[in-house]
Chain A
Amino acid sequence: MAQSGKGKLNYRCPSCFMRDLDIDMFYDKEKKEYHCIRCQYVGTEEDVLEKNELVRFRYKDAMKRFTKFDFD
């Protein structure tokens, strides 16, 4: 098995991102999957992108435009 390298983009581990850790993943071209060096996450690009949507659950107001910043 050859060494892993970077994929076309530096995808971070979605599982580690959920705990505020930015860990670049490495790509295994034989298995066509990304893997995290720190935790046990393994997934295809499709799975990474899907999980990246999930991690956005915390940003309930990310798409809202605010015009008022106090509660007066």
Chain B
Amino acid sequence: MENKFIVNIIHRPEMVPEYAEKVTGHGKEEDIGRKALLTESLDIFKTQQEIAHKNGLKTTIQMTYASLFNDEAVELAKADHEKYGDEIALSLLGLPCEEFRAKYKTKDFCIWMFSMEDKKAIVDDVFGKFYDRFGFYPESTGSYYMDAELINYIKEKYPMVKCAVATCWEEGPKAYHTCNNSWYTFMDGGPWAPWIPSKQNVHAPAANEAEDSGIVAIPHLSRDLLACYDGNGSNFGTHPQNVLRSMSYDSKTWEYPYLYNLIDQYRDLAKYNNGYAYNMMFVGPGWMNKMGRWEAPYELLLKSYEDGMAYYGQLKKEGKLDDMTMAEFADYYRQKKTLTEPECALWRDILYGSDKQLFWYCDPFMRVCANMDQGGAIVDLRPYAAKLEWPVGIGTKHVTDASYPFLIQEKYRAGYFTHYAGEGTVRSAKLTYKGEEVDLCLCRTKAHFSQEGNTRILTLDPVDIEFYDLTVKLQTKMYFEEGSSNIKIERTILEMSDPTAEVEINEYMVACYGTTEYSEDMSNITLTCTDGTNSKEIKYAYKCREEQMEGATEVISVIPEIETRVSLSCEKKDAVGYIKEGYAFSPMFTLGYTTKLKDKEVFATWLNLAKAN
């Protein structure tokens, strides 16, 4: 199969770039109608367009509200559409301008944060203005984030819209902290690559036609799936000036191989996704400001953009890249992917020299990250099966928090635990023998991807577990069956230094729920052990209680706040299922199974996700 690597290049004539007025205009009274600012912004847009076209690339021009009042910006868009086939689309970024402020009496600029009433008014205003200027409605739109209610409204009123920029991958508390707790884009927990959002929650892909929102969503930039998970999302993406922001370039030679490695690793993901891979580059004009941006002078900002485009242009000339507009891409994606087909990424560190490797998996039922540097432990888990309705904006419970809640998040809730008291969220296993215990989180390994029918399989290199007088060679395999809403994890004892020995394995999952670092109220959670006939139950009250049951077919947690039912199950009759409540200093719960294993034996457990009724 021939691989296809697609890029969407997007530019927006943003007349008042978010950064330009406040950051580079320091020392002046705010004036968003400044002539110099408007002229410079349009000049940057022109420069970006020229660079793309010079490299043989077509773009999607996302008109902003402010630019619709500017005759020159409108004419430029029409001309480039005619000459280069660029798509004229409409962004819901770039709202700020004198006209917007006068009409809406607010400095809010993020569409998802407005009240639903204002969202509708603004959408109608902006789409109407677009129609007045161009004589048609756009097929593509977007913002940093688009909530489900907003997309549903747009799709209902403007059914021709087929594509939208709908989230920034892992832009949440980390971005907030990086900006000294001032950047309120909380949108962790979404897909990193294009997807078809459900009508209930934009982050969660649709599982069937009834859930299909009717658009294809694309992420704002293609981000480093390792660096952005731990660090600032705005440092490590297909945005040349983001790479400068991270300082991961040579300050003397102005070289940044990391940018090309990032693009190439995305290209490489085609082998996990039936021959398809995707990139998105979207640099707002504020990043190419004449006054420079942070340490980078304008010349370096410009050079990095030219180099980035030149690389895409080179790939296109070599037949390794297809440039598409957003609307073209939406048509391609609808034809290429089925709703339940997952997105997979076996991702390696390309920056820090650690050789760490993560596996990201996303389908309509879950988003999962397994960390091979921790023996394949699941370190992030989002239960999309719940299709959680989570309205955001003024007048809702979540004014700014648009993140999809996690059950496991190793950065916000500790992961494999290394501190004094408490526990961290992770799905791993421990082996014990004669009083010694080893967690697989401490077994660094690598994984290999394969596919059998509709099941994606991750096969980890075997690891050696060394006890005082016994060495165990163990292999982990993870199975992701399309549409199953579960993950099967299989541990095989390949070899023991004493073939007659017997070790105990404890398959466990420590979890909680939340969207930030801070704990939520666990009081409504119920934990259950069941064998199908009998059950034992703990209603969470921070009392550190435990229950267990031999022959348990399932150990379950129901979390009403996120409408999620998560469980572990196994088919081994003599395995002991257990549930553990946490306590105030450790507001977690644990689900697990223990059993004995001998040489060559296999133990399989399933992690299951469902919507709690």
A residues in contact (CB < 8 Å) with B: 5-6, 9-12, 17, 20-24, 38, 49, 52-53, 55-56, 58-67, 69-72
Contacts and interface: CB of A to CB of B under 8 A. Distances in A.
B352 A60 contact: yes
A2 B245 CA distance: 30
Contact of A12 (B257, B295, B447): B295
Interface string B172-201: 001001111000000000000000000000
Contact of A5 (B26, B248, B260): B26
Contacts of B354: 60
A22 B178 contact: yes
A7 B611 CA distance: 54
Contact of A6 (B27, B296, B353, B355): B27
Contacts of A21: 177-178, 180
Nearest to B255: A63
Interface string B229-259: 0011000000000000111111100011110
Contacts, number: 102
A5 B251 CA distance: 25
B446 interface: yes
B261 A66 contact: yes
Contacts of B571: none
Interface of B: 23-24, 26-27, 174, 177-180, 231-232, 245-251, 255-258, 260-261, 264-265, 268, 292-297, 346-355, 357, 446-449
A65 B260 contact: yes
A58 B248 CA distance: 9
Contact of A22 (B245, B346, B348, B349): B245
Contacts of B449: 70
B247 A55 contact: yes
A62 B249 contact: yes
8 contacts: A5-B26, A22-B294, A60-B354, A61-B351, A62-B258, A63-B250, A66-B265, A71-B357
Contacts of B268: 69-70
B240 to A, nearest CB: 14
Given A6-B27, A70-B268, A71-B448, 9 more contacts: A10-B24, A20-B232, A22-B245, A52-B295, A59-B351, A65-B257, A65-B260, A65-B261, A66-B350
Nearest to B234: A22
Contacts of A24: 23, 294
Contacts of B174: 20
A23 B447 CA distance: 39
A20 B231 contact: yes
Sorted nearest first, the 4 A-B pairs with minimum C-beta distance are A60-B353, A71-B446, A69-B268, A62-B248
Contacts of A10: 23-24, 292-295
Nearest to B26: A6
A62 B256 CA distance: 7
